[in-house]
Amino acid sequence: MRVEARILLSLGSFFGFMSALYWFWGHENAGGVMIFAAMLLCFVPGSYYFWWSRRMKERPEDDPNATQAQGAGVIGAFPGTSIWPFTLAMGAFFVVLALVFGIWFLVPGFGLAAWALFGGTAEGRRGGTH
């Protein structure tokens, strides 16, 4: 986990340096703010990983001498099939069509999206189809 943290923190530090340089040299606000935000976007997860990396036990994927047996066990939940992503995307499709063709598209749009969110959450609680 340490390498992952370092990648994000080094990227964030570079963006921090760049945003300071650009802010004082460029006298242009939009770009300075955007690079600064990029720095935050690296620092937030990066510092979290760094914090964890000092507290967690070394994972088998970080151990250069690990055997496959060390990774045995449940890796995670991987649902086999689910209709809800498709339903949610259809909802999003109708929502953006409302931006173009009229507000009434929001009805099927939000309807499908809400149905998908409830359905997907319930499916997640059951642990998926497989």
Q: Per rule CB under 8 A, is residue 112 in the interface with another protein?
A: no
Burial category of 15 from C-beta neighbours within 10 Å (exposed 0-12, middle 13-18, buried 19 and up):
buried
Q: Per rule CB under 8 A, is residue 97 in the interface with another protein?
A: yes
Rounded CA-CA distance 15/38 in Å is 7
Cβ of residue 77: shortest distance to another protein, in angstroms? 9
Largest CA distance in the chain: 60
55 vs 80 by CB, closer to another protein: 80
Q: Per rule CB under 8 A, is residue 14 in the interface with another protein?
A: yes
Rounded CA-CA distance 85/117 in Å is 9
Rule CB under 8 A: which of 64-93 touch another protein?
Answer: 64-72, 75-76, 78-86, 88-90, 92-93
Q: What amino acid is encoded at 7 in this protein?
A: I
Q: Per rule CB under 8 A, is residue 21 in the interface with another protein?
A: yes
Nearest of 122, 123, 115, 44 to residue 82 by alpha carbon:
123
Nearest of 44, 4, 39 to residue 19 by alpha carbon:
39
Binding site for another protein (CB under 8 A): 1, 3-4, 7-8, 10-11, 14-15, 18, 21-22, 25-28, 30-31, 34-35, 38, 41-42, 49, 60-72, 75-76, 78-86, 88-90, 92-93, 96-97, 99-101, 120, 129-130
